[in-house]
Structure 1
Amino acid sequence: MRVVNSSTSDFLHNNVKVFRSRVSKTAWQGISVAIIALTVATAAVAYLESGQISIASLLEAQRTNFALWILDIVPFIFAFWGQYSSTVLAYEASAMVMDQTQELRDKADSFEKQARHSITHDLLTDMPNKELFYDRVEQHIVSPRGQTIFSVLLIEVSNYKEISDTLGRNSSDSLIKQIAVRLESAFPSPYSIARLESNTFSLLVSEELSERSVLELAESVHRVLHDAFFVEKVKVSAQANIGIVHFPLHGTDVDTLVQRAGIALYMAQNSNKGSAVYDSSFDAHSPKQLTLMSDLSHALENQELELYYQPKVKVSDGSISGAEALVRWNHPKHGLLGPDQFIPLMERTRLIQGLTLWVIQEGFSQCAEWHRTGLDIILSINLSAKDLNNPELPDLISGIKGATGINPAWITLEITESSIMTDPDAAMGIIRRIHDMGFQFSIDDYGTGYSSLSYLKSLPLKELKIDRSFVSDILRDESDAVIVNATINLAHNLGLEVTAEGVEDQATLELLKEEGCDLAQGFHLGRPMPQSEFNQWCSENR
């Protein structure tokens, strides 16, 4: 405190000196004017009284004229008053500057706190978000000396999608806010509650609970959410399922705990109780996709993932234009797995960010190699919703670009309409940063998401991909044919290329050619292939 007071005093003293020097200058100007006026008045009186101006007449005028005596006092009054006023004004001005400076500092501190808060808290509910929740769990794991025993409850509002589809996004957001308020009021500290996903919450219990106690806690969660919610005067009921895990019994790291809580949550969905504690026996009775969760964290470490490439050809002449990178998992037990079998599971954890980083590294390196060997194609790489909410993604891409020597014009990053809607402002900011580096973007699976024309207009897009669900039946379904035609015309009017997915036969390809479609991909043109087979395919189809 003494240091602060001393620095404040020095700051005030220095400011006063500056202000006083400026105000004193004005005061001295006033004194100079007063002295000149006195001199002129004395000379005038001397001349009027004696008819001449001399030292003797000036002294005589000063000695005998009362009015000059008063004028003699004026410079001294100016000097005293000027110095006094300059000091007062200097202190007041300096104090004002200090007040305004402190106000700016307070505002800057407030903005900094808000920024830090927004990184670790959910924007809708102001609850801790997934990152803060994971951090708190990890802190419990490492302290003290790994001897802590705690539980995690994964709470999912199972009918959230139905409510959102029926009442709209704003109404479903209102429901989530009300649920958050109930949970926070029902489970204050030392409980720690977070919102992990759109309809998923977590409850961290930082103490050892018996099996009976933890089930009673889950039942209390159900009671908290039992009473009806009112959303825009509509009575709504929230149905919850709860998956429960214990540390260290069910896992020794946060990803494993969350994965197994997800397994327990799945079992809870199929039970009458609506809650379940994880048990290893669940793995034998749950679907294969769910049992894969425990193996996901080792897939990258064990180099079990591989990129396959599916050709994209020009509809006009059948020549190759590019390829889409599609990840495959060479599972030691289940064999070759497609992305639909494990990508959704990875998106529930932070593993998806590691997968994206690996795909970008592998894809950029391979594309650079193709161009070095004279194969001039554009590689498409998919980004998930989680990627578009990762503020580090532009810097990661920039680093990989520099390391591989890739030309951004050789890469198209595919995003879905729904991935943008999770946090539109954040997603748009990340997309623009990456686009500023020279990378192009494509809307994947167009027509299956929000299909918002406002986003098509504002996004820096190069391409629009028509989903296979519309393309596969255009020969038999007139509605699909109309949708494909309208989409092609819309994209061309917006200056975008159009790629049709799911082309399974020559007749479909010919119809797309008549409609003016630019590019196509599908099993009729080429299946996803390992890198060596893709290179061979390219050499045979050039």
Structure 2
Amino acid sequence: MAVMKGSTSDFLHNNVKVFRSRVSKTAWQGISVALLALIIANVTVAYLEFGTISIASIVAVQKTNFALWILDGIPFVFAFWGQYSSTVLAYEASAMVMDQTQELRDKADSFEKQARHSVTHDLLTDLPNKELFYDRVEQLIVSPRRHTVFSVLLVEVSNYKEISDTLGRNSSDSLIKQIAVRLESAFPAPFTIARLENNTFSLLVNENLDEKAVLELADSVHRVLHDVFYIEQIKLAAQVNVGIVHFPHHGTDVDTLVQRAGIALYMAQNANKGSAVYDSSFDAHSPKQLTLMSELHHAIENRELELFYQPKISVLDNRVLGAEALVRWNHPKYGLLYPDQFIPLMERSRLIQGLTMWVIQEGFAQCAEWHQADLEVALSINLSAKDLNNPELPDLISGIKGAVGINPAWITLEITESSIMTDPDAAMAIIHRIHDMGFQFSIDDYGTGYSSLSYLKRLPLKELKIDRSFVADILRDESDALIVNATINLAHNLGLEVTAEGVEDMETLALLKQEGCDLAQGFCLGKPMPQAEFVQWCQERV
């Protein structure tokens, strides 16, 4: 502090000397002019009174002329006053400069601190950014502690892009801010929460937790982000996946850990809980996934896609009443690919809407042919969350309907509860527009989403489909049996048909019949089949 005071005093003293030298110079110039004027005045008065200019005449006028006495003293008064004023002004000016300089220094320090902070923190959420997160992971890796063990969780909001595309950047930014607040409040220090990319957060767990504890932590992330978010009076649901890696088991440097957490994150999209721990077996899939991503654009153009049809059987009398259209990809290298191998890839891009249009065109045309051939089978087609956020969907369906000549009563469009939650009002408007054309709707995978009774009441539904996860164990799990029974009764009270998915044996079918289920799908009843095989299968049952 003494050094600071000394440097400030020296700074002020030096400034005063500079200012005084400049002001004094000007003052002495003024005094010189005044002295010159005084000499001229004395010479002029001496000449006017004595007719000559000499030292004697000048001294004589000085003795007898009172006005010259006053005039003689003025330069000395001004000289003294000028020196005093210059000193005061110099001090004031120097103090002013010093104050302004200090203010500029304070602002510069503040800007420097902000700049340093912005380099290591995300501007939107103020969380640590990718650079700071990597640095903290590297510090743990090189820690002198023996047997250092920690875990990294990548948390991805998978529906971020569709929210941004539908509601705009401001709404998606608001969602990210709310997610950041929830994660920070739920996982305080010693956890480190960071935002790595637009829709990806990371959670650094610098503790030695066992596998079960880390998975429970991932479940906690899902619970924290499960409740709906409110963005401009719109309720939104964040669809979250979590990828998990452990140091040093899954990697010994930060780049490898994050890369493998990303692979686990991708695999988590197909996991029941939306979480996955990295496994070396995942690496065999990653090159394949990259290849598929690059080839998805051409799959439709190259006519590599094909619709398979799985029968929907009446539980009461075993008649074929409908079929569900299921897309397959006849890949030239990998052979026949099932939806879970490429649909998630499409849902992460805009390709899913193009796929939906292709399925609708193919399905409508095929269903029209069936009815022309007196095969009275209704067709179910799945819509994704992105489809329900596409305001052009009703017009596209109307155009295809008119071109094919399909009767809308033959078509049921299947939607999931979670697909409505992204933007419920917009989704409801689209659903009602399509329903007004005569198309039917079904809630698919009932019980795995929000299962909101208010949506069941508001939606123009024909059918409710019980998810296979409840149907598969109804013979062995009393809880599943109770859920299926309650769902059937609820649907019937709402005037809806009930379809049970995943019926794999006749004993399950018999129990569903006893419970009053209307329709059933499953491999024991009929597997998904290509068009020609499905038609032949139906004809053989007549």
User: Which one of 157, 160, 163 corresponds to residue 201 of structure 2?
Assistant: 157
The answer for the alignment partner of 1:473 in structure 2 is 473
Superimposed CA distance per residue, residues 242-296 of structure 1 (whole angstroms, 9 cap, x where no aligned partner): 99xxxxxxxxxxxxxxxxxx999935969xxxxxxxxxxx997726334411111
The answer for the alignment partner of 1:362 in structure 2 is 362
Say if 2:174 and 2:231, in contact at 8 Å, map to a contact too.
no
Q: Distance in 2 between matches of 1:489 and 1:268?
A: 40
After superposition, the Cα gap between the structure-2 partners of 1:481 and 1:523, relative to the gap in structure 1 and judged at 3 Å, is same
Report how far residue 389 of structure 1 moved.
0.4
Q: Distance in 1 between matches of 2:285 and 2:421?
A: 35
Matched residue type, 1:157: F
Q: Give the TM-score normalised by the residue count of structure 2.
A: 0.53
For the pair 1:515 / 2:515, whether they are aligned, the reply is: yes
User: Which one of 164, 168, 174 corresponds to residue 121 of structure 1?
Assistant: 168
Q: Distance in 1 between matches of 2:537 and 2:325?
A: 15
After superposition, the Cα gap between the structure-2 partners of 1:348 and 1:268, relative to the gap in structure 1 and judged at 3 Å, is same
Segment of structure 1 superposing worse, 159-168 or 498-507: 159-168
After superposition, the Cα gap between the structure-2 partners of 1:506 and 1:173, relative to the gap in structure 1 and judged at 3 Å, is same
From the CA coordinates, give the structure whose radius of gyration is larger.
2
Q: Distance in 1 between matches of 2:347 and 2:525?
A: 30
SS in 2 for 1:376: coil
The answer for the alignment partner of 1:401 in structure 2 is 401
After superposition, the Cα gap between the structure-2 partners of 1:265 and 1:498, relative to the gap in structure 1 and judged at 3 Å, is same
SS in 1 for 2:504: coil
- Give structure 1 stretches of 5+ with no counterpart: 1-116, 130-151, 175-196, 201-240, 244-261, 271-281
- After TM superposition, the structure 1 = structure 2 runs for residues 270-349 of structure 1, keeping only pairs within 5 Å, are 286=286, 288-349=288-349
The answer for the alignment partner of 2:227 in structure 1 is 169
SS in 2 for 1:292: helix
Report how far residue 538 of structure 1 moved.
0.3
User: Which one of 228, 239, 262 corresponds to residue 266 of structure 1?
Assistant: 262
Say if 2:378 and 2:412, in contact at 8 Å, map to a contact too.
yes
- Give structure 2 stretches of 5+ with no counterpart: 1-163, 177-195, 204-217, 233-237, 242-253, 267-281
After superposition, the Cα gap between the structure-2 partners of 1:508 and 1:158, relative to the gap in structure 1 and judged at 3 Å, is farther
After superposition, the Cα gap between the structure-2 partners of 1:412 and 1:155, relative to the gap in structure 1 and judged at 3 Å, is closer
Say if 1:122 and 1:128, in contact at 8 Å, map to a contact too.
no
Q: Distance in 2 between matches of 1:539 and 1:293?
A: 39
Query: Number of aligned pairs?
Result: 315
Report how far residue 169 of structure 1 moved.
2.6
The answer for the alignment partner of 1:452 in structure 2 is 452
After superposition, the Cα gap between the structure-2 partners of 1:482 and 1:410, relative to the gap in structure 1 and judged at 3 Å, is same
Say if 1:444 and 1:466, in contact at 8 Å, map to a contact too.
yes
Report how far residue 125 of structure 1 moved.
3.9
Q: Distance in 2 between matches of 1:462 and 1:269?
A: 36
Say if 1:154 and 1:242, in contact at 8 Å, map to a contact too.
no
After superposition, the Cα gap between the structure-2 partners of 1:541 and 1:122, relative to the gap in structure 1 and judged at 3 Å, is farther
Q: Distance in 1 between matches of 2:286 and 2:405?
A: 45
Say if 1:121 and 1:128, in contact at 8 Å, map to a contact too.
no
The answer for the alignment partner of 1:70 in structure 2 is none
Superimposed CA distance per residue, residues 306-325 of structure 1 (whole angstroms, 9 cap, x where no aligned partner): 00000001000101100000
After superposition, the Cα gap between the structure-2 partners of 1:153 and 1:242, relative to the gap in structure 1 and judged at 3 Å, is farther
Say if 2:175 and 2:229, in contact at 8 Å, map to a contact too.
no
SS in 1 for 2:448: coil
Report how far residue 436 of structure 1 moved.
0.5
Matched residue type, 1:333: K
Matched residue type, 2:227: R
After superposition, the Cα gap between the structure-2 partners of 1:118 and 1:383, relative to the gap in structure 1 and judged at 3 Å, is closer
The answer for the alignment partner of 2:8 in structure 1 is none
Say if 1:156 and 1:242, in contact at 8 Å, map to a contact too.
no
Matched residue type, 2:201: V
Superimposed CA distance per residue, residues 431-464 of structure 1 (whole angstroms, 9 cap, x where no aligned partner): 0000000000000000111100010010000000
SS in 1 for 2:533: helix
Report how far residue 157 of structure 1 moved.
2.5
Q: Distance in 1 between matches of 2:199 and 2:260?
A: 11
Q: Distance in 1 between matches of 2:482 and 2:284?
A: 47
Report how far residue 121 of structure 1 moved.
1.3
Identical amino acids, percent of aligned pairs = 72
Q: Distance in 2 between matches of 1:199 and 1:167?
A: 8
Q: Distance in 1 between matches of 2:320 and 2:284?
A: 45
Say if 2:222 and 2:240, in contact at 8 Å, map to a contact too.
no
SS in 1 for 2:476: coil
- After TM superposition, the structure 1 = structure 2 runs for residues 416-431 of structure 1, keeping only pairs within 5 Å, are 416-431=416-431
SS in 2 for 1:445: strand
Q: Distance in 2 between matches of 1:360 and 1:121?
A: 28
Q: Distance in 2 between matches of 1:421 and 1:452?
A: 10
Q: Distance in 1 between matches of 2:265 and 2:477?
A: 37
Superimposed CA distance per residue, residues 486-536 of structure 1 (whole angstroms, 9 cap, x where no aligned partner): 000000000000000011111111111111000001001000000000001
For the pair 1:435 / 2:435, whether they are aligned, the reply is: yes
The answer for the alignment partner of 2:530 in structure 1 is 530
Say if 2:463 and 2:499, in contact at 8 Å, map to a contact too.
yes
Q: Distance in 1 between matches of 2:446 and 2:337?
A: 25
SS in 2 for 1:523: coil
Say if 1:442 and 1:461, in contact at 8 Å, map to a contact too.
yes
After superposition, the Cα gap between the structure-2 partners of 1:162 and 1:289, relative to the gap in structure 1 and judged at 3 Å, is farther
Q: Distance in 2 between matches of 1:198 and 1:514?
A: 36
Q: Give the TM-score normalised by the residue count of structure 1.
A: 0.53
After superposition, the Cα gap between the structure-2 partners of 1:537 and 1:509, relative to the gap in structure 1 and judged at 3 Å, is same
Matched residue type, 2:507: A
Q: Distance in 1 between matches of 2:481 and 2:239?
A: 35
Say if 1:242 and 1:265, in contact at 8 Å, map to a contact too.
no
